[in-house]
Amino acid sequence: VLSLSILNGRILENLGICSQLKFVRFMRRGKKHKDDPKLFIKDLKFDNVPVRIYQPKAPSAGQRRGVLFFHGGGWIFGSINTHENICRYIAKETESVVMSVEYRLAPENLHPAQYEDCLAATIHFMKNTDDYGVDPARLIIAGDSAGGNIAVGVCQTLVGRKDLLKPRAQVLIYPGLQAMDFNLPSYQQNRAVPILFRERAAFYALQCLIGNASVLEDVLQGSHVPPDIRQKYAKWMGAHNIPDEFKVRGYKPLVPAEFVPEVYEVVKDMCSPSLSPILAEDATIRQLPETCILTCEYDVLRDDGLLFKKRLEDNGVQVTWFHVEDGFHAIISLFDKGRLAFPSGKKGLDKIVGYIKGL
């Protein structure tokens, strides 16, 4: 674990984007799982994937909801431990059973290892809801940041499975849902807002997909998108699908750089639903369960959330949207961090809790 931190630190340093690394390490630091007076907490393996289950101790009149949570961290950071307090809070406040997944991280394990682990753990949980007193018709697939990307990928797979019940809802906390366009208004406006810089968003996607960031500059400029793909997805992607009120602050339309086929060859999945689940066809989107999306104004990923909201609504899927006006990426993770906490982080998390309680 230590050497991985050092390795990642070096990668980030070489790219000159390491000023926030201290924060990332802070989020990453392991904590032992301590007992909780209100929860039974168990570390298990579901289909060989390590998971942690949080079960309220209080007796329940009926079956509980199940919340299947995939942590964020750009596919290369994060763990059950970094999101321990969020999962405990959700379990206690919503009186649901929460499963948190320790999926394999990049760059050692490239995409789609993260998605595969989360899918395997989810299906195992779905088939064993009885063991946890969970209602199989009230399962919520949730994730923050890269975990939100995985959550949508898992949901898109599950709605195609006739042998399993459809999830009750998706909960997406500042999700990253596309790697096609790093020049959307929010990427320009918040390019240097901690803790997720524009360059780093692309860097993470590249680490996840190919394990290095050699084509970072090309991808930032959009050289990885073939003209026919750009045209095909123009109806769903692009600044013209973002409401005007989000473009007043420091945004200027850019002409994408010239297409470079050699770059596309290496990063094809950035332009496919595999890594950009927002690009799934209508036939899939239409079947997704009702969705809660939380976006933050000062977050490069804001427009991923806004575009997906539109995409779902255009396909008749009910969306509950919370926008944190003074929020930035990862603010929810700080909800209980004392001097580092921002009131909006706790408020945002409580909105999510309120939404889950209504399901």
Ligand X SMILES: *[C@@H]1O[C@H](CO)[C@@H](O)[C@H](O)[C@H]1NC(C)=O
The only residue of 68, 202, 210, 307 in contact with ligand X, by rule CB under 6 A? 210
DSSP codes, 45-93: EETTEEEEEEEE-S--SSPEEEEEEE--STTTS--TGGGHHHHHHHHHH
Residues designated catalytic = 145, 299, 329
Which stretch in 80-88, 159-167, 177-185, 209-217 sits in contact with ligand X by CB under 6 A? 209-217
In the bound complex, which residue of the shown chain has the CB atom lying closest to ligand X? Answer: 212
Name the one range near ligand X by CB under 6 A: 115-123, 207-215, 252-260, 326-334.
Answer: 207-215
- Applying CB under 6 A, what is the total number of residues that bind ligand X? 4
Question: Applying CB under 6 A, does 214 fall inside the site for ligand X?
Answer: yes
325: Cβ contacts below 8 Å, ≥ 6 apart: 297, 344
CA distance 150 to 147: 5
> Nearer to ligand X by C-beta: 9 or 133?
9
Q: Which is nearer to ligand X, 267 or 324 (CB)?
A: 267
Q: What is the C-alpha to C-alpha distance for residues 18 and 8, in angstroms, rounded to an integer? A: 10
Work out how close the CB of 294 gets to ligand X at its nearest, in angstroms, rounded to a whole number.
Answer: 33
Q: Are 145 and 171 in contact (CB under 8 A)?
A: no
Selected range binding ligand X among 195-203, 208-216, 305-313, 330-338, rule: CB under 6 A: 208-216
Q: Which stretch binds ligand X (CB under 6 A): 23-31, 157-165, 210-218, 322-330?
A: 210-218
Structure tokens at 46: 């579901």
Q: Which stretch binds ligand X (CB under 6 A): 9-17, 63-71, 117-125, 206-214?
A: 206-214
Site for ligand X in 252-311 (CB under 6 A): 266
Among 14, 128, 212, 231, the residue binding ligand X under the rule CB under 6 A is 212
14 binds ligand X (CB under 6 A): no
Instruction: For residues 199 and 49, give the distance between their C-alpha atoms in angstroms, rounded to a whole number.
Output: 31
Q: Which is nearer to ligand X, 107 or 238 (CB)?
A: 107
Structure tokens at 15: 């790219």
Q: Output 169 or 266, the one with its CB closest to ligand X.
A: 266
Q: How far is the CB of 245 from ligand X (least distance, A)?
A: 40
Q: Are strands 39-46 and 49-56 parallel, antiparallel or unpaired?
A: antiparallel
Q: Does 128 bind ligand X (CB under 6 A)?
A: no
Among 41, 45, 328, 12, smallest CA distance to 173 is for: 328
Between CA 38 and CA 32 the distance in angstroms is 17
Cα(163)–Cα(123) distance, integer angstroms: 11
Smallest separation (angstroms) from ligand X to the CB of 139? 36
Instruction: Report the residue number, 4 or 341, with the smaller CB distance to ligand X.
Output: 4
C-alpha distances (whole Å) from 18 to each of 21, 150, 182 are: 5, 25, 19
Residue 183 CB, nearest approach to ligand X (Å):
23
Determine the distance from the C-alpha atom of residue 280 to the mean position of all C-alpha atoms in its chain, rounded to a whole number.
16
Q: Which is nearer to ligand X, 24 or 263 (CB)?
A: 263
- Least distance CB 203 / ligand X (angstroms): 13
Q: How far is CA 145 from CA 23, 201, 213, in A?
A: 16, 10, 19
Give the nearer residue to ligand X in terms of CB position, either 136 or 211: 211
CB neighbour list of residue 292: distance below 8 Å, 6 or more residues apart: 169, 170, 171, 172, 319, 320, 321, 322, 352, 355
Q: Please check whether residue 141 is in contact with residue 165, taking contact to mean a CB–CB distance below 8 angstroms.
A: no
- Provide the minimum distance between the beta carbon of 200 and ligand X in the complex, in angstroms, as a whole number: 18
Residue ranges binding ligand X (CB under 6 A): 210, 212, 214, 266
